[in-house]
Structure formats: C-alpha cells, structure tokens
Amino acid sequence: MGYLKALGVLRLVCQQADADVRACWEGGVFKLYTNLDRDALTTFFRDYYRPTPLLAPWNGGSGFYVKLDVDRFLESRGAEIAFKSREAVDAIDAIESSDTDRLASYREQIRQTKAALGRIANRVDFVELLAEPLKQWPGATTRQAKKRVKDYVSKVLNAIMLFRSGDETYSIDKAEKDAFISDLRGKVLTDDGLLWLDAALAMRTGAKKNRMESPTLGSGGNIGNSDFSARFAQLLPEVMTFRTGDPPPSRSEVWLSSALFGTPTRDLERVSVDQFNPGKAGGANGTQGLEAAPILNPWDYLLMMEGALVLSGSTSRRFGAGRDGVSFPFIVASSRAGYGSIGVEQTRGEAWLPLWSAPASYSEIRALLSEGRAEVGRSRAESGLTFAQAIASLGVDRGIQ
C-alpha cells in the first residue's frame, strides 16, 4: 500500500499542484521535493484535490448495475419489480448528483458511461424473461423446490448485467463485454477515465479474449465481489464534501495527516483494504480478543488507488521475436517453490517494483514504470529467479534498487 500511495502523491502533486515536484526513496522513506510546505500540501489534498474518475463498468459490482429482488418478484407472481440496495450503486449516484467543481470530471464520465451502456443495452421485461420460473413457483411448496426455482432465476440473471435508466431496466449480455470495453476505450472515456481501464486491463488483438487483467489489480479491478473503483467512490464522501459550501468531513484532515506524514490517528473506518494491507484486514488473532475488525484510513486507500494508475499495462513485443504479449510494469511469473501438498491454483505473478535513490520527476518515473525492464544477458527477466539474477548482475538501470 505504501508504495502505491507514494506514486499517487507524486502523480497528483505533479498534475494538479506543482509540475516541478521530484521524489526519491531514502532509507525506505518516500521524500518529496516540492515548493509546497507541509501545510500547503495538506491544504491541497483537503481542499483542491480532484479525484481521478475510477470507473469499471465491465464489472458487475462497479456501481452501475442493480440486482433484482428475486424473493419479492416470485412472491408477487411478477407484479413487484424491486431491486436490492447496493452501496456501490448509491456511491456512483451520489457522485453523479454532486455539484462541486472537484467532481466535475467524475460526474461527466459517469454520465457518458451510462449513455454508452444505454446504446448497447436491451430493455428487460422480467415477466417474459423469467416466465418459466414464474410458472413453476406456485407449485414449489417445499424448501427444496423453492430453492430449485430460485437457482433457475439466478442462472438466467447471472448471464446478464442489469442497469436502470429512469423507470426502465436494461440488460447487457456478459458475452458482449469485449465489444463494450473496446467501445469504452475508443469512443467514451476521456484521458482521465482511460487511466483506470489501462491500469486494470491491457487490450490485445488476435485472441479469443481481447483483454488481459493486471496481476496487481485482481481480475480486472476487483477481487471476488469487491470492486476497487466502487470502494474508491464509497470512500470519497468520508474525506470531501459533495455539495458546494458544505464543510469537509470532520475527520478528513486528521486522516490526511496520518496518510501523508505518518501521524498516529484513531477512529479509522471499519473497512477491508483487500489484498493491499493484510496486516489491517482483521480476522482471528488480529487483536487481544478473539477476532479483529478490519481498519482503514480512507485517505490511504484513495491515494493508493491514484498510485495504482501509474502501473498501466500495454501490448508489446518485448517477449522475443514473434512473441506478442501483454506487459505490466515489473511483473514476472512466480518462481516455483513449496511442498508436495501445496495448492495447485495458478498465481498471478510476482511484483518487483523499483526504488530510486536520486530525486526524479513524475514523467521520469512514469517512463521507468512503462518501459523499465530487467535483463539477464540479452534475455528479459521473466520470473522471480531471473529478476533476482538481473539485479545481482546489474541488468537493471543504475540508481534503481
């Protein structure tokens, strides 16, 4: 988390406050060289920071899609069309209805994305779509029979994503996701909006699946049902106001000081940070009691996600002659190790992220993370083992640790 936070601070200060900012690592501490002093840096993030629009409409949990309340639908014989409450949807709607200048780009990107969804979606008639389970429901008098009908409904609904526009409900077939992502990239998203797509996915051609997920951001910007962009949107109102003239949330500055300068703080949010900070994920033996709750500083998460945007992937030919592939910065295949009874699941690879000792600008670091490589002789390091060999044999740029 700390590494991505550092990248996020550097990128945001460069693009929104001080274009001449430089930074380096010294003794494991990230040092920022800027014309902003401590108070000015705090003021910038508290009052002027403009969040990057992080939107992932290719994911079902991104805040664009709703879920039918199946129980109410079946019990009413299809007369009641209601949807379950989803925090991610509420978060996206709250940003869309905000009026502060800081969220102007975010609002516009949400509206454009919803318009794009509308162009490829089909209006849903739930009574027609779920006619068979509606027919079976009256005769389902046992618990097992009701479960079979609900499973049937789930199978139908799991093949589509539902979103609302006005009083109507529309669906997108999940099989159309590839074409939709291509349209997003080429016709809908602005430069700011593309940052998250490029960080989470790398587009490619000539393959059955037109995208490859970033190993550092789960499976396309989410892990299971936890969508990173949705969590980002949910945490924004914890640190900034959505209405012009309203004061910032009372704990925002305390959390910000902790995130930027390591100031001790209390009263953190009870929210999981997923894979990025396992030590604060809670769980058994995580405290003096039986089980600890997850804790999170909202500013930590926001800055971390802003930094993750720097690690965008690209389609390249850096795998050798005639071998096209997808490249993510300093990500290599995992080294095989372990014991006979270990699980057989495939890993997503290893990240060997660079530290640099001399002050560098954001553009220099961006170029390093985009084009940087490690080589053993004339071959590109493709595993954790060969990456370590490259470092030992000076197969990386000078000044990089």
Query: Per-residue pLDDT averaged across 262-267, rounded?
Result: 85
**What would the DSSP string read from start to end of 32-94?**
EE-S--HHHHHHIIIII--------TTSTTSSS-B-B-HHHHHHTTT----B---HHHHHHHH
54 occurs within a structural domain: no
| 256 and 335 co-located in one domain | yes
Type of residue numbered 168: E
212 occurs within a structural domain: no
Full-model pTM: 0.86
Q: CA 352, 211, 87, 239 torsion: positive or negative? A: positive
| 332 and 388 co-located in one domain | yes
Q: pLDDT category, 383, cuts 50, 70, 90?
A: confident
What is the per-residue pLDDT for 317?
Answer: 42
Q: Where are the alpha helices (DSSP H) in 201-311?
A: 228-239, 252-261, 298-308
| 23 and 86 co-located in one domain | no
Q: Show Cβ contacts of residue 72 under 8 Å, excluding neighbours closer than 6 positions.
A: 80, 82
190 occurs within a structural domain: no
Give the tokens for residue 78: 């299809």
Q: Residue 90: phi, psi to the nearest 5?
A: -60, -40
57 occurs within a structural domain: no
| 286 and 355 co-located in one domain | yes
Query: Which of 136, 165, 184 represents a domain boundary (last residue)?
Result: 184
| 157 and 268 co-located in one domain | no
| 311 and 361 co-located in one domain | yes
| 40 and 118 co-located in one domain | no
Query: Which of 184, 204, 234 represents a domain boundary (last residue)?
Result: 184
Number of Cβ within a 10 Å radius of residue 162: 19
Considering only 93-97, 312-316, 368-372, which range has the smallest mean pLDDT?
312-316
225 occurs within a structural domain: no
**Domains in the chain, number:** 2
399 occurs within a structural domain: no
Number of Cβ within a 10 Å radius of residue 214: 24
- CB-based contact 238:250 (threshold 8 Å): no
Q: Each residue of 157-208: pLDDT tens digit?
A: 999 999 888 888 999 887 777 777 887 787 777 777 788 888 888 776 665 5
171 occurs within a structural domain: yes
Q: Residue 63: phi, psi to the nearest 5?
A: 100, -5
Q: Each residue of 114-157: pLDDT tens digit?
A: 888 888 888 999 999 999 999 999 999 999 999 999 999 999 99
191 occurs within a structural domain: no
Query: Distance between CA 386 and CA 79 in Å, rounded?
Result: 62
| 27 and 107 co-located in one domain | no
Query: Which of 164, 184, 204 represents a domain boundary (last residue)?
Result: 184
Task: Print the domain residue range for 154.
Answer: 70-184
Closest Cα partner for 268 from 281, 251, 288? 251
Output 183 or 257, whichever has higher pLDDT.
Answer: 257
Q: pLDDT category, 321, cuts 50, 70, 90?
A: very low
| 37 and 111 co-located in one domain | no
| 103 and 170 co-located in one domain | yes
| 330 and 384 co-located in one domain | yes
| 21 and 80 co-located in one domain | no
